[in-house]
A and B are shown apart, each in its own frame.
Chain A
C-alpha cells in the first residue's frame, strides 16, 4: 500500500520490547561483483558511520564471497571507509550472487550477532537480498531511502523516502522489530573520505550449506560490453535531454555535445517512454540518481520526478524556452532559448575551448 494512505501514526509513548534491546550496532552489507565493490556500499559506510556515532555503537561491514574473490581485501577496504569490524563469510558457494545462499548467510549472521540496523544498496542484488532477508526475519524494510537519521531517544532509524514519484517524502520507522532494515540507492549519499590508517577486526562465520542444497544454478554470466555500458550514476559530466527537444532526431544534438565533453547521455522519463533512448539512461525517481560535477539539461522542464534524481549535481546548466520552467528555480545557470540552436552553439564553444587548451599544452 502507498505510504500516503497509511497515515502518520499518532505520537504515543514508545517503549522498546526488552528482548530487542540486545540488538546493537549498525551493519552495512558490502556488495561486490566480479572483484569490484559497488560504490553504494562505501557511500552507505560513510552514512552508517554518522548513524553509529549518533547511537554510540560500532559500525560493521558484512562481506560474503568466494575465496576466488579474495573477500578479505574488501574487509580491509571497509575499515578504510569507516567500519570498526567486518563479518566475513568466505565460501566457494558464494562465487556468483544467488538468492538462497546469500539470504541464508546474512540471516544467520543477523540471528547470531543481532545488529539493530542493517543497510543495503538499492541495487538489483541489494533489493533481491533485502526483501528476502526481511521476510525471513519478519522485520521492517524501507526501500530506496534518500535520507537516514536517528531518533536517539528511542534508538529508532528514521528512513525517509520519496513517494508518489517524488511529489512527497515520507519518514518510516520500524519500531518494535529488529533489525531495522533499509536500502538506499546509489549516489544518494556522498562518498566518504578514505582513512588509510584505520583497521579493524574480522569476525569469520561459516555458511552451513552444500552446493546440493542450492536449487538455482548459474549457467553463464554475460558481462555488459564496455562500449554499451551506461554508467550514468557515477558519471562526472551528463548531458540530458527532455521532450522540449520536440523530435527524436533532435536528440542527436544532446549526443553531439556529450561526445565533445566525454559525457554520458541522460534523459527524462517521457523521452525514454517515447523510445528516443534506452531505459538505462533515464534520470529521476523511476530512473537513476546522479550527482555529476556538471549536469546540462536541455529541453527539460524540471518536474519533481526528474529533479529528485539530479538536484545534487554540483553545477546544473538548464536550457529551456519557457522562462517560467521550474528547472530555473534550482539550476545554477539558466539560458532561456531554443535548445535546438543553443546546443550546437555550446558544442562548438566547448570544442574551441578544449582545442585552445590543447594548443597551449602542446
Chain B
C-alpha cells in the first residue's frame, strides 16, 4: 500500500488580520486559526489517491501545541494518522530550518513505514514563500514536482507517477519515479466534507506529539533561530502615498457627464493614456 505524508500548517486567517494603527503590530485576538488553504488541495489530492488505489495517509505539522486542532481537522477529512512536531527549540525558524525539521521528522516516519509521496500546498498564506516544499524534497532526495495541477496516474508497482505541472506559458506533462514530493496548485480539486464516522474517529484518534528528539534531531544548530540563515532586521508599516485622488464631479453628477468629465481631465493631463488606448483598442 502507498504511504503518503501530507505537510500542513496552521495559520491565522489572513483575511481577518488587522494591524494596530499605533504600534504596527499584528492584532491576533479573535483571528481564527485555520489550515493553510493551499494545504487543503494537497490533502484532498492525497485522499483521492487513497480512494482510488488504497493508501495510508499521515498528516504532519510543525507548530505550537494548539496546531493539534489543524491535525484533527485533517483526520476528520479522512487522514489515517497525525503527528504534531512541537518543541520550543523550533521557535524562530526560517524556511531552511523549517524544512530541516520537517525532513527529519519525515525521516523518522519512514522508519516505521516507507514513504512514497509527500504532499505540500504550493505556499502558505502567512509566509507566502513556497520554499519549504522544495527544501524538504532536496533534503530527503525526493523528486520535486511543484505547482502540480493534476495527477494523471500513479503506478505503485512500477514506482512511477505522471503529473501535469503549471509553468509560465503552459502545462508540462512530467513522468518521474517515486518517492516524490508534490506541491499542489490551488483550484486543482475541491476539499470533501468530513463524514460523521470520520469526525468521530478524528475526535478519538491520538495525535502523536514529537519533540525535537523524537523527530530525530540531536543537534540544535540546524533548527530554530540558530539554524536560520536569514534574520528579520525590521518590521514596518507601508508608508502610504499621501496624494489623494482628484475627485470627478459635475453639476448633475449623472453618469454620462461624469464619464465625459473624467475623459477630458485625464486626456488633458495624461495624453499618453489617450495614445495607449488608441493603440490598444485597434
Interface residues of A (CB under 8 A from B): 1-9, 31, 33-34, 36, 38, 96-100, 103, 123-125, 127-128, 130-132, 134-136, 138-144, 158, 162-177, 215-224, 236-237, 260-263, 269, 279, 285-286, 293-294, 304, 308, 311, 314-318, 327-338, 341-342, 344-346, 348-350, 353-354, 357
Are B263 and A125 in touch, CB under 8 angstroms? Answer: no
B214 on the A face (CB < 8 A): no
Are A236 and B244 in touch, CB under 8 angstroms? Answer: no
Are B238 and A308 in touch, CB under 8 angstroms? Answer: yes
Are A237 and B280 in touch, CB under 8 angstroms? Answer: yes
List of B residues within 8 angstroms of A260 by Cβ: 281
Are B233 and A8 in touch, CB under 8 angstroms? Answer: yes
**Most-contacted residue by chain A among B147, B166, B228, B248 (CB, 10 A):** B248
| Stretch among B69-77, B87-95, B110-118, B199-207 lining the A interface | B87-95
- Classify the interface of chain A: helix, strand, loop or mixed: mixed
| Contact among B139, B231, B245, B272 for A318, CB-based, below 8 A | B245
B170 on the A face (CB < 8 A): yes
Are A1 and B129 in touch, CB under 8 angstroms? Answer: no
Are B245 and A331 in touch, CB under 8 angstroms? Answer: yes
List of B residues within 8 angstroms of A221 by Cβ: 167, 170-173
| Contact among B146, B175, B262, B278 for A127, CB-based, below 8 A | B146
**Nearest chain B CB to A352's CB is how many angstroms away?**
9
A285 to B272, CA, bound (A): 28
Q: How large is the interface on B (under 10, 10 to 19, 20 to 34, 35 or more residues)?
A: 35 or more
B135 on the A face (CB < 8 A): yes
A201 to B112, CA, bound (A): 54
Q: Mark B82-125, 1 if CB is under 8 A from A, else 0.
A: 00000000011111101100000000000000000000000001
- Classify the interface of chain B: helix, strand, loop or mixed: mixed
| Contact among B125, B132, B168, B282 for A38, CB-based, below 8 A | B168
Residues of chain B from 229 to 258 with CB closer than 8 A to chain A in the complex:
229-238, 240-241, 243-249, 253, 255-256, 258
- Given contacts A169-B238, A175-B231, whether A336 and B247 have CB atoms under 8 Å apart is yes
5 nearest CB pairs, A to B: A131-B134, A140-B229, A345-B255, A334-B245, A262-B280
| Contact among A124, A261, A314 for B270, CB-based, below 8 A | A314
B17 on the A face (CB < 8 A): yes
**Nearest chain A CB to B201's CB is how many angstroms away?**
30
A96 to B278, CA, bound (A): 38
Residues of chain B from 6 to 34 with CB closer than 8 A to chain A in the complex:
11, 14-15, 17-19, 24-26
A-B residue pairs in contact (CB < 8 Å), sample of 12: A1-B93, A2-B127, A124-B146, A125-B168, A142-B230, A173-B231, A216-B175, A219-B162, A236-B276, A293-B272, A318-B245, A353-B274
| Contact among A3, A162, A173, A344 for B255, CB-based, below 8 A | A344
Q: Mark B124-142, 1 if CB is under 8 A from A, else 0.
A: 0111111111110111000
A279 to B185, CA, bound (A): 11
Q: Name the residue on B nearest A354 (C-beta).
A: B281
B197 on the A face (CB < 8 A): no
- Given contacts A125-B168, A132-B137, A334-B245, whether A172 and B126 have CB atoms under 8 Å apart is no
Are A293 and B92 in touch, CB under 8 angstroms? Answer: no
List of A residues within 8 angstroms of B132 by Cβ: 131
Are A304 and B276 in touch, CB under 8 angstroms? Answer: no
A171 to B237, CA, bound (A): 11
List of A residues within 8 angstroms of B277 by Cβ: 237, 261-262, 294, 350, 353-354
A217 to B165, CA, bound (A): 12
List of B residues within 8 angstroms of A124 by Cβ: 146-147, 166-168
- Given contacts A164-B17, A168-B26, A294-B277, whether A215 and B229 have CB atoms under 8 Å apart is no
Q: Name the residue on B nearest A332 (C-beta).
A: B245
Are B14 and A165 in touch, CB under 8 angstroms? Answer: yes
- Given contacts A165-B14, A329-B244, A332-B245, whether A4 and B25 have CB atoms under 8 Å apart is yes
